[in-house]
Structure 1
């Protein structure tokens, strides 16, 4: 999201309000003194901004911090009920819709499996679910800021891989689900690549707020990626930056393959089907994957090798602090995958480059839907993170 500072008073005020909201989101509750020190704005200017944001119910006062000389500091934090965002994930195997509050807590969630996504059915289902979100007890529908859709780009190219009829998936070539829903709903509607959206969810709501540069892997039915540079989501010229699924990696047999053919969950699904086991649990991250253990172990080995090589290739181009790995899988499985990637990475020749830290993602299976919800959040309330490199680190609490 690019935000212009503006040359008039209204433009500058809007810029500064986004700046304050972005700093509080990144650092947690902050006082006006801490924000003034971090931004270079005068204390008086910050006071005016924070009073307005409090009046708009976007910030709320916390308990004063005592024990210092002078008046106690009164920190302000994000008000969870200040705004709400709807996110929809259109997956190869399921549709997920979430209603998220201003701090990223899920207030309503729906998941519906499908054999393959049909654009007409997807539009109808999302429209119906948006109505249910607006009727969720305890939320003010007037404060819903928008709907964001996370969807794999060029879905028609994956018909064979997911066992869908080519003609049915071909309907996606001309589908404009964003435009259709925008014409039907009273909210702004946004659309983004699903893996990039998952990375946006980590940036907006995750537990890695101290990271400024990282590559993000999301392992779903197909593996994909996202890119954060200088604390800002980088989507690239076509919105498809960090298309990690297309990265060439060793195929395990002496040749090369795309990462999508080494680290995607459809590969595990095929192993499970070949073993004569039911696959439904694979698309329920709360399920027990222990019955698939032999197939799971073999899949983790291949996926980890592919991801490790992708990490090495990526860090040779940009000196990332970290590689964050998340996915539509149980937390224990994700942690096993991260550990195996670390082991594979340690065995590669990384002469001349510094390997990044490997971290498990903090969002999990709903990252793509939450990433959809983050699209109106970034557009309506936050500043481009490139503007947030502080002059002096805030003296407030450590980032969550």
Structure 2
């Protein structure tokens, strides 16, 4: 296989026939990332298959595999004998080879997780609040970090390589929608959250938009088979991401997939608490959980119970039915608009709610799509996401892995240290 066809540069010597030190070191690091990325993608690979897929020589592949094994980043499986020749020895990622923290800072809750090299969350802690206060969030991280890390033995804690953070850009925006004091929310405009978290944890910190991180989790760890899809994550506010050719596209200013801002037409008498709507609104005012919160409050209920008890969703009855109809209609319009820009294979819907609610929202969106005119557009499927409410935390925790060990063509974040 041509290595350049997979985006993997071949081993290129200098004009003297030998690699200069810095170039050789950079190429070796790139080759190690390539090997780890391939093993992560395929689950396990033998040395000969790695050499074939990368274009590396058998000797170079052997050197890399020995180095990765010595660092305990990969493990040997049992030898497998083929028809001829020596048995092959598949290599796989060591789940305990490296760990990261993932921090999701949301408008209704903050959650810290510890994730292993295979993307499995080993432990987590969560705090629910009425609105995100800077000091409260930083105190939570300071207190929760040692407890979350204690899920693995002391020697393995030395393998925690970084903290990934997923949070909405412009956290201070839409303070009124979530009922937060403007001055408290404005503190997010002033704080250098990356610097604060570095000081607390002593780790490198990588930052990404929360919906972008959720889309990254679906793309890296999920089971969506498509290489081209538009992704919606319905949290307190709805956001999204765009995947093209298997890569998460973040855009010129890292704001691609800002789907919550897409315009959606209002329908007469379709609104919250009987308010008449007309004209256009943004998708966040249709397919966001904060809209459901307002509906619950209008009925005299406590909207924050949604973030404290997943079972509360089963008790919502007709309020949930009404919200699903509004959210589905907004999502259907947004999907049609997105498909007019790029011929996606499917739209993926996930969110911070139970699986049965997600399934109902997908079905309602499919029904709403039938009623919209789509002449001239390529048909696309609507599918449920596979990561669920933990997508943002898992996506954030993956950031340090890509910064340190894996190839990342998506450019999710810049590292600070």
Is the pair's TM-score, using the shorter chain for normalization, greater than 0.5?
A: yes
Deviations, residues 55-107 of structure 1 (Å, cap 9, x unaligned):
21111122333454333332211111011110111111111110100011111
Match of 1:277 among 301, 307, 313: 301
- Hey, what does 1:214 align to over in structure 2? 229
**Structure 1 segments unaligned to the other structure (5+ residues):** 388-400
Moved beyond 4 Å, runs of 4+: 3-7
Instruction: Report the equivalent of 1:194.
Output: 210
Q: Give the SS at the match of 2:92.
A: strand
Which residue of the partner structure matches residue 159 of structure 2? 143
Whole-angstrom distance in 1 between the partners of 2:207 and 2:303: 29
Which is higher, the Rg of structure 1 or of structure 2? 2
Query: Which of 333, 342, 348 in structure 1 is aligned with 2:357?
Result: 333
Query: Given the alignment, which residue of 190, 194, 198 partners 1:178?
Result: 194
Q: Which residue does 2:311 correspond to in 1?
A: 287
Q: CA deviation at 1:386?
A: 7.5
Deviations 1:37-59 (A, max 9, x none): 32233333222222221221111
Cα distance change of structure 1 residues 75 and 4 upon mapping to structure 2, 3 Å threshold: closer
Distance 1:155 1:176 in 2: 12
CA distance, structure 2, for counterparts of residue 100 and residue 293 of structure 1 = 36
- The aligned counterpart of 1:60 is 75
Q: Which moved more, 1:253-262 or 1:294-303?
A: 253-262
- Structure 1 residues 275 and 229: CA distance shift in structure 2, 3 A: same
Q: Which residue of 1 aligns with 2:130?
A: 115
Q: Which residue of 2 aligns with 1:252?
A: 267
The CA deviation at 1:230 is: 2.5
- In structure 2, the residue matched to 1:311 is 335
| Partner SS for 2:310 | coil
Asked whether 1:154 is paired with 2:178, we answer no
> When the two structures are aligned, how many residues end up with a matched partner?
384
- 2:86 corresponding residue in structure 1: 71
Provide closer, same or farther for how the CA distance between residues 293 and 38 of structure 1 changes in structure 2, counting only shifts above 3 A: farther
Q: 1:322, 1:358 within 8 Å by CA — same for their partners in 2?
A: yes
Q: TM-score, normalising length from structure 2?
A: 0.86
1:328-376 alpha-carbon deviations (Å, 9 max, x no partner): 0000110111122222223322222213332211111111111211111
Distance 2:46 2:230 in 1: 32
Alignment of 1:94-105 (within 5 A): 94-105=109-120
Deviation of the 1:292 alpha carbon: 0.4
Counterpart CA distance in 1 for 2:138 and 2:244 is: 33
SS at match of 2:394: helix
Separation in 2, partners of 1:211, 1:161:
35
Q: Deviations over 1:209-261 (max 9, x none)?
A: x4322221110000001122332222223222110000011223353211000
The answer for the alignment partner of 1:205 in structure 2 is 221
Instruction: Tell me if the contact between 1:89 and 1:96 (Cα under 8 Å) persists in the aligned partners.
Output: yes
Contact 1:230 1:386 in 2 (8 A): no
5+ long unaligned stretches in structure 2: 1-6, 13-21, 269-277, 412-417
Q: Secondary structure at the match of 2:184?
A: helix
> Relative to structure 1, is the Cα distance of residues 349 and 101 closer, same or farther in structure 2, using a 3 angstrom cutoff?
same
CA contact (8 A) 1:22 1:382 kept: yes
Query: Which residue does 1:36 correspond to in 2?
Result: 51
Separation in 2, partners of 1:228, 1:145: 27
Pair 1:188–1:286, CA change in 2 (3 A): same
Q: Which has the higher contact order (CA 8 A, sep 6+)?
A: 1
Query: Are the counterparts in 1 of residues 248 and 410 from structure 2 also a CA contact under 8 Å?
Result: no
3-state SS of paired residue (2:186)? helix
1:356 correspondence with 2:380: yes
2:85 partner SS: coil
Residues 251 and 262 in structure 1, CA contact (< 8 A), matched pair in contact too: no
In the alignment, which residue of structure 2 is the partner of 1:27? 42
Residue 284 of structure 1: how far off its partner (Å): 4.2
Structure 1 CA distance, aligned partners of 2:83 and 2:332? 49
Normalising by structure 1, what TM-score? 0.90
Indicate the SS of the match to 2:132.
coil
RMSD in angstroms over aligned alpha carbons? Answer: 2.2
1:395 aligns with none
